[in-house]
Structure 1
Amino acid sequence: MIAPLVGKQREAVRLATARGNLWEGAVRSSKTVSSIMVWLKYIRTGPAGALLMVGKTERTLKRNVIDPIIEMVGVKRCNYKAGAGEVIIFGRTIYVAGANDERAADKIKGLTLAGAYCDEVTTYPETFFQMLGTRLSVEGAQWFGTTNPEGPNHWLKRKYLDRARLHLDREGNVITSTDPAAIDVHRFSFSLDDNPYLPKAYVAALKLEYQGLFYRRFVLGEWCLAEGVVYDMWDESRHVVDILPEIRHWMAVGIDYGTINPFAGLLLGVGTDDRLYVASEYRHDSRVARRQLTDAEYSRGVRDWLGSYRHQGEQGVAPQWVFVDPSAASFMTQLWSDGLPGVAKANNDVKDGIRSVGVALGSGLLSIHRSCAGLLQELPAYAWDEKAAKAGEDKPLKVDDHSVDALRYGLHSTAHEWRGLIRPDLEVAA
């Protein structure tokens, strides 16, 4: 059963009458459910013509929007046709598309659209969104979108949200612009506390997980610059340990490949206390050693490192996964040839990966053994690129980032395995 819309949720639905309507703000703040309710009504009552649903990828669109719609209306009223690029809702065929790179605009060239639903709008290339606007040419056409905040110089904020004709702000005020340059967009801003149906313990856990930049964006719903150090929740006194507990599961190795730059590998395990530990580091810096290693030599080095690692009287570990920098194809081939099991391409989504590391650190779930010297040197100095932030991009500086990248590969590629371990008491126990 879907809970009735209340407060700002209901007000946003009432005000979604512009050509463009965008729900933006915190995670789990009811943006998606409110926008879905409007979209379902639009499918039934909007103008005739082709409709489109867009996500960062078709997979994320299904997970974030189509699956909740199926839960709301049932499979008979919402039939997702995997592989066909279509979903049928209330008997109306709707195109679906992903918009994760600059080529995405080609997917909608030539379409004449009567409406569109857009999930995770800030992840789209600006060229795609511009093209979408030209395709919504049926009289009365509208688009409806959702997004989490990014930096204040992101193209979506500068060119659309800042020029919105109507703004339902985070305090619940309705502000109507008198600027002659305002465009036919209604903007609805949400914070985490705008969803009254979330359990208090869940809200408290989210507020604990997200700190610094991610707290401001994903809890408060602010559009703020990525500036300063990336992991501002880092605290050596909390996150560094001298003694590891018994490890019940050697979860993964994360590897950042380097030839001229340092090569870094990190061993991740889950302790019997249900916490994550970076137990050991393998690192080769050719600038210090004055010798570059071949793929075969690196493979031997990694296998020897894992085979010789001692923990609680036992020698050698066999991690479930070995996640490698996806650009290092030849090195992965070498590892496969040498019989190392579990070798796979790491998930290299930088922003989401940084968020995963931040959640693990911020929640008190992750600890790092003091022997991991390269990682402990890099973590407190890893910083956002402020020039990129002013240009509307969130990017870390590419300086001294080899072990932190290896950490990101290992943690983000296994996030589905460890997120369930986060508990409200971790902060106190850390």
Structure 2
Amino acid sequence: MYSPLTGKQLRSTTLASARGNLWEGAVRSSKTVSSILVWLKYVRTGPAGPLLMVGKTERTLKRNIIDPIIEMVGTRRCVYKSGVGELILFGRTIYVAGANDERAAEKIKGLTLAGAYLDEVTTFPESFFAMLGTRLSVFGAQWFGTTNPEGPNHWLKKKYLDRARLHLQRDGQLAESSDPSAIDLHRFSFSLDDNPYLPPSYVESLKLEYTGLFYKRYILGEWCLAEGVVYDMFDETRHVVDLLPDISHWMCVGLDYGTINPFSALLVGVGSDSRLYVASEYRHDSRTARRQLTDAEYSEGVRGWLASYEHRGSKGVSPQWVFVDPSAASFMTQLWSDGMPGVAKADNAVKDGIRSVSMALGKNLLSIHRSCAGLLTELPAYAWDEKAAAKGEDAPLKVDDHSVDALRYALHSSAHQWRHLIRSNLEVAA
């Protein structure tokens, strides 16, 4: 069930009259519902001609937008043709596409469109968005989109949002541009608190999930730079321990593969106190050792490390998962052939992975044993790339990042197993 729109949500739907209309800001702030309702009306009453719906991928578009539409209007009025790239909505055929790389622009070349709906616009290549503008050539054509904020130098903000003719701001004020170079775009900015229907306990939980950069963007709805140290919440006095508690579950190993660069593996367990612990590190740096190891030698080393690890009188551990750098296909094959259980490709989403590690550190859910020298050396110095930020991209510097990558693989790939611990630990602390 969807509640009636109110306040800024409702106001945005009445103002969505420009050629381009974009809802941007915090997660769960009602951007999607507001934009979908406008799109449903447009499909019924907009000008005749082909329509298009786009997401980062067709799968994310289905999850974020098409499934909610089906829930709203029912399966008789909305039919998704999986694998065909079409959606039948109110009897009108809509093309469906993903736009996750530079080749995406080829998908819409030659189209003449009467309207478009765009989900997660900041994830699109700029070339695709520019091409889309040329395709919306039917008289009266409009596009409607949603996005979360990124850096202030992102192409969407600098070239489009900052030039919007009308802006419904986060404070609720309406600003109209008098700049003659303003474009026919209406921008609607939301923070998490703009959704009055979210239960207070849920809002509190969301606010607890994010910290630092991600809190500013996904809770406050700010377009802010990724700058300085990535894990600025890391504090040796809080996060480094000399003794480990009993470990109730050896959850995983995160493994970053290297030949010329260092090879790093981290063992992560859940303590009896319901907190996460990086208990041990296996690391080989061929630059200092002056010897590169083969896949077979690395496999032997990792398996020997786990078999010989001692904790509270017990020797040898068998983690549930071994999450491996997804580019290291030959090494995964070696581990499988050597009988290593639980080997899987790590989730290598960089920014989402950094968010998972930030969450664990920021909520004091993660501790690192002092023996993990490589990780403890890299964490305080791991920084955002200023040159990438200047181009509107969020990327860490690719320098001394082998153990921090292993940590990201471990925590992000297993996030579904430990995120609930944030709430239980806060309740204990209270």
What residue in structure 1 maps to residue 328 of structure 2? 328
> CA separation in 2, counterparts of 1:273 and 1:76?
51
Aligned partners of 1:253 and 1:265 also within 8 Å: yes
> CA separation in 1, counterparts of 2:359 and 2:206?
9
Structure 1 residues 227-249: Cα deviation after superposition (integer angstroms, max 9, x where no partner) = 11101121222222333333333
What residue in structure 2 maps to residue 33 of structure 1? 33
Unaligned runs of 5+ in 1: none
What residue in structure 2 maps to residue 305 of structure 1? 305
Structure 1 residues 344-396: Cα deviation after superposition (integer angstroms, max 9, x where no partner) = 22221211111111122222222222222211121111111112111211111
Correspondence 1:172 to 2:172: yes
Q: What secondary structure does 2:374 align onto?
A: helix
Q: How does 1:133-172 map to 2 (within 5 A)?
A: 133-172=133-172
What residue in structure 1 maps to residue 66 of structure 2? 66
Structure 1 residues 8-46: Cα deviation after superposition (integer angstroms, max 9, x where no partner) = 111111101111100111111111111111111111111
Change (3 A) 1:266 1:187: same
Deviation at 1:55, TM superposition (A): 0.9
Deviation at 1:276, TM superposition (A): 2.2
Change (3 A) 1:415 1:88: farther
> CA separation in 1, counterparts of 2:171 and 2:47?
33
Letter in 1 for 2:192: L
> CA separation in 2, counterparts of 1:424 and 1:98?
38
Deviation at 1:424, TM superposition (A): 6.9
> CA separation in 1, counterparts of 2:92 and 2:304?
59
Q: What secondary structure does 2:419 align onto?
A: helix
> CA separation in 2, counterparts of 1:289 and 1:141?
63
What residue in structure 2 maps to residue 86 of structure 1? 86
Change (3 A) 1:88 1:315: farther
Deviation at 1:5, TM superposition (A): 0.8
TM-score (norm 2): 0.96
**Identity level (%):** 81
Q: Which moved more, 1:201-210 or 1:118-127?
A: 201-210
TM-score (norm 1): 0.96
> CA separation in 1, counterparts of 2:242 and 2:80?
52
Change (3 A) 1:30 1:19: same
Correspondence 1:102 to 2:102: yes
Letter in 1 for 2:53: M
What residue in structure 1 maps to residue 339 of structure 2? 339
Change (3 A) 1:260 1:215: same
Letter in 2 for 1:313: G
Q: Which moved more, 1:119-128 or 1:105-114?
A: 105-114
> CA separation in 1, counterparts of 2:376 and 2:210?
21
Correspondence 1:291 to 2:291: yes
> CA separation in 1, counterparts of 2:75 and 2:218?
31
Structure 1 residues 400-419: Cα deviation after superposition (integer angstroms, max 9, x where no partner) = 11100011111112223322
> CA separation in 1, counterparts of 2:116 and 2:270?
44
Aligned partners of 1:364 and 1:427 also within 8 Å: no
Q: How does 1:15-414 map to 2 (within 5 A)?
A: 15-414=15-414
Unaligned runs of 5+ in 2: none
Aligned partners of 1:363 and 1:427 also within 8 Å: no
Aligned partners of 1:385 and 1:396 also within 8 Å: yes
> CA separation in 2, counterparts of 1:86 and 1:251?
41
> CA separation in 2, counterparts of 1:77 and 1:309?
59
Deviation at 1:267, TM superposition (A): 1.4
Q: What secondary structure does 1:202 align onto?
A: helix
Aligned partners of 1:262 and 1:283 also within 8 Å: yes
Q: Which moved more, 1:235-244 or 1:141-150?
A: 235-244
TM-align CA RMSD? 1.7
Q: What secondary structure does 2:423 align onto?
A: coil
Letter in 2 for 1:341: P
